[in-house]
Amino acid sequence: MMKRNNLLIFIVTVGVFGILNTEMGVIGLLPSIAEHFNVSISQAGLTVSLFALAIAISGPTMPLLFSGINRKKVMLLVLGVFVVGNIVSIFISNFTILLMVRIILGLFHPIYCAMAFTVAASSVSKEEVPKAVSKVFIGVSAGMVAGIPIASFIDSAVSYEMAMAFFAIVNAFVLVATLIFVPSMPVEERQSYGEQIAVLKKSIIWVSIVAVILLNASVFGVYSYIAEYLATVTQMSPNISSLTLFVFGGANIIGNIVAGRVLTNSPIKSILTFPLLLIVVYTLLFFTGEFAVPMVIITFLWGILAGGIMANINQYLISSSAPEAPDFANGLFISACNVGTTVGAAAGGLFISQMGTQYVVLVGILSLILGLIAILLRNYMIIPSKQLSKAAIVQD
């Protein structure tokens, strides 16, 4: 049973990597997309922004619509859509059609990711849920961080078409593995849409959503401009900047492993400690960001906290607030993260335009302070509640 569960978690982790790789990998292909379709680089950027917008819109709705269907069938459907979409993207020559394909893939994205978290959580005991979910987040981190350089390398070494084919190959591999190794997973207790949507009546779910938006904004309000920060403030060479970004990505994976353990053993204390630690990291970043060596060290610590631990905390905040509707809750989590990314990036751009690149760090600090207030309010609401699962109440 344990081996089967481990294999199941591994397959959905690789599946999440493939889905996130399709989303983020095109960032490394934007110059080639602009050249291939004879559009400007800003127009090519629509392949990223429209994909993200589709995720934000479909996050709460699509997982809800598919929540009553056999999970294996749903995963096969989504993987099939991604395989076909990526193959079509290789051969089309019309940019508008490419954007339409990207929007369709973005709409299906939250279904698989939300279901991956649910499947991982349901395959283990309640006490082991954070560890199982943290393994899936390794796929998220790998897709977000490794997808860009891998796609960019294939593009430069072989061709744009082969880079797009890589996305299709990864998704096709997971589709076959799911078909062969994943058992049928019918929904045992099918909930009506009304029962699931009813969780929105709970105040704690809204406080959790606000907390997730603020925490995600605290990271992506800064990380969205990290390349500019390294170039203008730290004055790193392009090669050293790329190495620093890889350090951040590797730290993400470490953070996911750490998060699984701390959230299993002491979730409330971990959730309260995280914003405080990240505020310290951002403060160090603000005062020592001009120096290359401290910047690399800080980026490593930042990657552990922001890329790894934060993602797990965000998922825990919302899923533990609505354990009676796991698929819908995970959809809300995905949507809230995308809203936070959008808000953070917009705020970061505003601070840079008004104050300068160095001051983008203040977006992270302010968002964390507000996020900590939301977390404290949530904890005040969660402790006396008898409606939450016992997994959310821990004796620290």
- Domain stops at, among 161, 181, 201: 181
pLDDT at 395: 44
As for how many domains the chain has, the answer is: 2
**pLDDT averages per 10-residue partition of the chain, 396 residues:** 79 90 81 88 81 85 86 94 95 94 94 86 79 80 74 84 92 94 81 81 92 91 80 83 79 81 80 91 91 90 83 87 84 86 83 88 94 91 54 43
Per the domain annotation, does 348 fall within a domain? yes
In a shared domain, residues 70 and 94: yes
Within a domain: 231: yes
Residue 366: per-residue pLDDT: 96
pLDDT score at 384: 53
Q: Are 256 and 137 in contact (CB under 8 A)?
A: yes
Q: Are residues 146 and 197 in the same domain?
A: no
SS (H, E, C) 189-251: CCCCHHHHHHHHHCHHHHHHHHHHHHHHHHHHHHHCCHHHHHHHCCCCCHHHHHHHHHHHHHH
161 and 20 housed in the same domain: yes
Residues 165 and 76 in one domain: yes
The pLDDT score that the predictor gives to residue 38 is 93
User: Is residue 187 included in any domain, yes or no?
Assistant: no
- Can you give the pLDDT at residue 1? 61
145 to each of 87, 223, 317, how far by Cα in Å? Answer: 23, 12, 24
Domain that holds residue 50: 2-181
Range list of H helices, the chain: 2-24, 30-36, 41-44, 46-58, 62-65, 71-91, 95-122, 129-145, 147-157, 160-181, 193-197, 203-223, 226-232, 238-265, 267-288, 292-302, 310-319, 326-355, 361-382
Share of the chain above pLDDT 90, in %: 28
Map 333-360 to HEC letters. HHHHHHHHHHHHHHHHHHHHHHHCHHHH
Considering the domain boundaries, does residue 307 fall inside one?
yes
Query: What pTM was computed for the model?
Result: 0.77
10: domain CATH number is: 1.20.1250.20
